[in-house]
């Protein structure tokens, strides 16, 4: 897992998904708050699309050699996220607490309820979308 990264910095090969670009920094189109990379194929991918978790949470199932493993990649918003910078539409702790509440919902539903988006599979790792393209490039 990489936080506040760019796909171009990741090693070639492997499988990559990200949490999307909706995390309040529209002037950095290639940056991602969360990237998840695996040497094994990724499937059953979910990411949060609303609230404090938007662009900051992605989960996927990886086909590890020992069997399937669920991975949760997250970057929890800091206490003053979007209070006096960037979007300026939040109060202290609101993004942080809202993101944690969303994690609880994600964990209890096991997936695509409560503002989540689901992909059926992630393909081998090329440039940068949640669709799971190859990581090289």
Residue 132 within a domain: no
Q: In total, how many domains does the chain have?
A: 1
Residue 130 within a domain: no
> What CA–CA distance (Å, rounded) separates 118 from 111?
8
Residue 127 within a domain: no
Residue 136 within a domain: no
What is the separation of C-alpha 131 from the centre of its chain, rounded to a whole number of angstroms? 12
Average pLDDT over residues 59-65: 90
CA distances from 9 to 23, 35, 94, 105, 106 (A): 20, 11, 31, 32, 29
For residue 16, the model assigns a pLDDT of 93
Beta strands in the chain (DSSP E): 2-6, 15-18, 31-38, 42-48, 57-64, 67-74, 116-121
Q: pLDDT band at 122, cuts 50/70/90?
A: very low
pTM for the model stands at 0.71
What is the separation of C-alpha 127 from the centre of its chain, rounded to a whole number of angstroms? 16
Residue 131 within a domain: no
Residue 135 within a domain: no
> What CA–CA distance (Å, rounded) separates 62 from 16?
11
Q: pLDDT band at 30, cuts 50/70/90?
A: confident
Residue 15 within a domain: yes
Residue 52 within a domain: yes
User: Can you give the residue range of the structural domain that contains 94?
Assistant: 2-121
Dihedral pair phi/psi, residue 85, rounded to 5°: -130, 165
Mean pLDDT, rounded, of the chain: 76
């Amino acid at each position: 897992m990489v936080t506040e990264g760019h796909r171009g910095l990741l090693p070639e090969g492997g499988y990559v998904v990200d949490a999307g670009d909706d995390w309040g920094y529209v002037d950095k189109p290639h940056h991602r708050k969360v990237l998840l990379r695996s040497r094994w194929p990724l499937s059953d991918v979910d990411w949060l699309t609303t609230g404090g978790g938007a662009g900051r949470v992605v989960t996927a199932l990886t086909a590890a050699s020992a069997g399937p493993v669920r991975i949760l990649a997250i970057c929890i918003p800091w206490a003053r996220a979007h209070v006096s910078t960037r979007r300026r539409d939040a109060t202290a702790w609101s993004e942080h607490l809202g993101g944690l509440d969303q994690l609880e919902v994600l964990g209890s539903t096991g997936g695509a309820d409560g503002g989540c988006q689901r992909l059926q599979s992630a393909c081998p790792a090329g440039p940068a979308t949640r669709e799971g393209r190859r990581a090289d490039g």
